A and B are shown apart, each in its own frame.
Chain A
Amino acid sequence: MSTEEKQLYTVSIYTENNIGLLNRISAIFQRRHINIESINSSVSEIEGVSRFTIVVNLEEKQMKKVIGQIEKQVEVIKAYYHTDDETIYQESCMFKVLSDLLFEERQIQNIIKESNARIVTVNKEFFVIEKSGRKEEIELLYRELKPFGILQFTRSGRISVSKQPMKISEMLEAFNQ
């Protein structure tokens, strides 16, 4: 068997926007005992076409096979996989913190400023910080805020765009002709 190393891949899947497709795609990973590191589903640049962004840790050999299985699904238009070097990617996160801290602990304001996070809302009881960036940056912010007490934390799945063009519109155009 291959001694190839596992690495993170960002899978981008363009699909029709139909009920049940998420189930169909996630089943492909589940059946092969592959853990999904993060998953995001959204609209894409093309009207009526959805885009899944899935991050997995795999050997390239297996990644290729999984892409084949994904593309085989009737309502999948096209699937790609990319290494981190081949994409521009971001994640987003939110922290809920007690409002008192914002005024009592001056350091928090510095942390927010230096991390390029922004305050989404402030009220008497709590305030909410939002930050977009790489996973490591978000993890750093988490570590810095932890000592002050975090009421709630959540991080989104990765979203990414590839450096190379994907040409989905051309593909759909070709079908219409």
Chain B
Amino acid sequence: MNTETIKSTEVLAPTTERISGSEAVIKCLLAEGVDILYGYPGGAIMPVYDELYKYQDKLHHVLTRHEQGATHAAQGYARISGKVGVAIATSGPGATNLITGIADAQIDSTPMVCITGQVGSHLLGSDAFQETDIVGISTPVTKWNHQITKASEIPEVFAKAFYIAKSGRPGPVLIDITKDAQFEEFDFSYKKCEGIRSYKPVPDVDFEKVQEAANLINNAKKPMIVWGQGVILGEAENELKAVIEKAGIPAAWTILGASAIPTSHPLNIGMVGMHGNYAPNKLTNECDVLIAIGMRFDDRVTGNLATYAKQAKVIHFEIDPAEVDKNVKTDVAVLGDSKESLAHLLPLLQEKSHPDWHQEFKDLYAIEYEKVIKNDLHPTKEGLTMGEVLKEINIQSKGEAAIVTDVGQHQMIACRYAEFNQTKSNITSGGLGTMGFGLPAAIGAKMAAPEREVVSISGDGGYQMTIQELGTIFQQKAAVKVVVLNNDFLGMVRQWQQLFFDKRYASTEMVNPDFVAIAKGYYLNARKVTKREDLKEAVAEMMASKEAYFLEVCVEKEGNVFPMIPTGASVSDIRLE
């Protein structure tokens, strides 16, 4: 390690104390304000677990039932709190089991520090028991990673890890510590990292670019905003609200941007993307200025790039320079932190309302309501819809719940219909689309924000990928409300098979177990709903529960999610049926 790379100031008393590497790990975590970490013990990390035992009154370790669950729980913790989530595992399979969660955190910019044990440094490269090259394996999916072979490296590497995970565009960091470094004693002192010379987390705002953006917006007849998670990560919700209200700009969100502005806000025009709302998708190709804020023009948002917003001037507010012009060529790129950039933009904007332009969104919403929303939320045919379950949860939670979803049809329905009154309320796996994310993420979210109602919504497929985390819920007494929308299918894949593979339902039908019995096996209160008339009361019982609660709702088997932009199609070719 190059000690010159870090500028630092003392946070703890500068006096040193002689302790083991493993105790130093705990002290580093405490110095970084960590109160909870999620993990699973094993041979190569046992010295650290021994210290966790001694420090259990200060640092709460949550034993998940699989290391993947530990990463998703750490992600849920990070997403609801804005703090760095921490996961810990042993070497070999413990470490490789973290990879899915790390990759998820990388693509969804979630601040997370993962700690793995490693075989003794003298055994590195010898194919020792439970040795795996986790630094090599995790390199493409981490923002930074490092292997520690000497205890004396621990304070500096941990300080750097937390700084890198949280600063700029956040992301996952992995620290691999050999077992001998955990045992080794050294003189410990801790300094927080305040900068790294090769790393500029937040680009400086260029005020000329802000002025250029303001000029385009002020002259626009049909401006439209699409915001992403950058607004939430940058805590720029108030600045965004002020901008859209002053300039009267209809504003849509990407899946990870959901909840930054309340659903009920009149200028909130819904979700863009493959299963987003009709109006914002269609009108992306009608607007004259498209203002992207903290989003990265993912292919699920843009559809076919060759026909995406070609008529519009594009303004991109973005913290990560590598995202500018990556997918969509911008006319004005404003680099920097969204909170700062939007604060500078606000006074330059003219007050506008664009009533005719708003009407276009309302007209298209009316079409979507008639063709899709009405049938989803107020179905008249027999089978329960996923949409009506969401509607019931909205009503009974009064829009105050944090909704944690898995991946698939239920996720799209939840994001389309969940009502959010407060930010950081939509926790879902966006970029990676990780089935199994929901249940463990909900545990992390509930533990980070015990005062909040946390509702986990999964499908019957993804739920079974991490169903063992019911054990964590039970052991931790985490009062998560677990909803499974069961259609006995891998619904999203089945929908594609129906639409694009002539209904050849290859391996998408699920023969499911008795989910209520399983939940009860973990001593959870549990209930199953199959009829519409029981839904309201069942949701009420779940919401009233002070403890964790499992609710299975059997929904129609072959329901589809619409609207839909088929892969490779233009956003203007969005289908309503």
Residues of A at under 8 Å CB distance from B?
1, 15-20, 23-24, 27, 31, 48, 64-65, 68-69, 71-72, 74-77, 172, 175-176
Contact = CB atoms under 8 A, between A and B. Distances in A.
B544 interface: no
Contacts of A23: 136, 139
Given A1-B306, A20-B136, A172-B197, 5 more contacts: A16-B198, A17-B2, A20-B135, A20-B139, A64-B325
Interface of B: 1-2, 4-5, 7, 135-136, 139-140, 143-147, 164, 195-199, 306, 320-322, 324-326
Contacts of B324: 68
B140 A68 contact: no
Contact of B143 (A48, A68, A74, A175): A74
A75 B306 CA distance: 35
Contacts of B325: 64-65
A74 B136 contact: no
A27 B197 contact: no
18 contacts: A15-B198, A16-B198, A18-B2, A19-B147, A20-B136, A20-B145, A20-B146, A23-B139, A24-B139, A27-B139, A48-B2, A68-B322, A68-B326, A74-B143, A76-B198, A77-B197, A77-B198, A175-B7
Nearest to A23: B139
A176 B198 contact: no
Given A16-B198, A74-B199, A77-B197, A48 B144 contact: no
A68 B321 contact: yes
Contacts of B135: 20
Contacts of A74: 143-144, 164, 196, 198-199
A175 B195 contact: yes
A29 B573 CA distance: 34
Nearest to A77: B198
B321 A16 contact: no
A106 B519 CA distance: 89
B136 A75 contact: no
B197 A176 contact: yes
A24 B143 CA distance: 10
A19 to B, nearest CB: 7
A72 B198 CA distance: 10
Residue among B5, B164, B197, B324 having the largest count of chain A Cβ atoms under 10 Å = B197
Residue among B1, B199, B325, B326 having the largest count of chain A Cβ atoms under 10 Å = B199
A101 B451 CA distance: 86
A52 B320 CA distance: 23
Contact of B320 (A16, A20, A72, A172): A72
Nearest to A64: B325
B4 A71 contact: no
Nearest to B195: A175
A67 to B, nearest CB: 9
Contacts of B143: 74
B330 to A, nearest CB: 13
A9 B135 CA distance: 30
Contacts of B320: 72
Contacts of B145: 20
A24 B5 CA distance: 19
A23 B322 CA distance: 20
Contacts of B147: 19-20
A51 to B, nearest CB: 13
B307 to A, nearest CB: 13
A72 B322 CA distance: 7
B174 to A, nearest CB: 11
B232 to A, nearest CB: 21
Contacts of A19: 147
Nearest to A171: B197
A65 B322 CA distance: 7
A103 B179 CA distance: 61
A48 B4 contact: yes
Contacts of A71: 321-322
B323 to A, nearest CB: 8
Contacts of A172: 197
B326 A16 contact: no
B322 A69 contact: yes
Question: What are the nearest 3 A-B pairs in CB distance?
Answer: A68-B322, A175-B197, A77-B198
Nearest to A15: B198
A15 to B, nearest CB: 7
Contacts of A64: 325
A48 B146 CA distance: 18
A15 B164 CA distance: 16
A175 B199 CA distance: 10
A18 B148 CA distance: 12
B139 A75 contact: no
A76 B143 CA distance: 12
A176 B6 CA distance: 10
Nearest to B4: A48
Nearest to B141: A27
A23 B140 CA distance: 9
A76 B144 CA distance: 11
A20 B196 CA distance: 18
Contacts of B197: 77, 172, 175-176
A172 B195 CA distance: 12
Contacts of B139: 20, 23-24, 27
Contacts of A72: 320-322
